[in-house]
Amino acid sequence: MDQDALIPTRHLDMGMSLGSTKPKEYFLKGPIPLRWLHKAATLPGKAYTLGTIIWWFYGMNPTEPIKVTSKSLKEFSISEDAYRDGLQRLEAADLVSVIRRPGQRSEIRVREV
């Protein structure tokens, strides 16, 4: 007796073959201390949004200093002025440490609260 004849089956097309890949979806990697986020959220301007970007970069490579790219600032609607202002506010709140070098992006490290 043919097994296929006993069990009705239907071909299910999921729209992807085994060799295809989904578009890359970015994500924010945690854990992110809630106290850090709370402190950043109380700062004016785009400091909190910048802090989120910094944690995004930190999640990708926590051992290296972070250099926020122009592309990521544009993606989150942060101007260069808002970036500099936000970075100063995060630094003054002791949430990040920053090394500034002329002609280069600042090197940022996340600080624990």
Domain harbouring 89, CATH code: 1.10.10.10
DSSP for 20-39? Answer: --PPP-----S---HHHHHH
Amino acid letter, residue 96: V
| SS3 assignment, position 107 | strand
Tens digits of per-residue pLDDT, 12-41? 444 555 555 677 788 899 999 999 999 999
Please check whether residue 17 lies inside any domain of the structure. Answer: no
Q: What are the tens digits of pLDDT across the range 48-75?
A: 999 999 999 999 999 999 999 999 999 9
| 81 CB burial (10 A radius; 0-12, 13-18, 19+) | exposed
* Higher local confidence (pLDDT), 79 or 17: 79
- Does residue 22 form part of some domain? no
Domain that holds residue 71: 36-113
Residue 91 domain-assigned (yes or no):
yes
Number of folded domains in the chain? 1
Tell me the C-alpha distance between 74 and 97, whole Å.
23
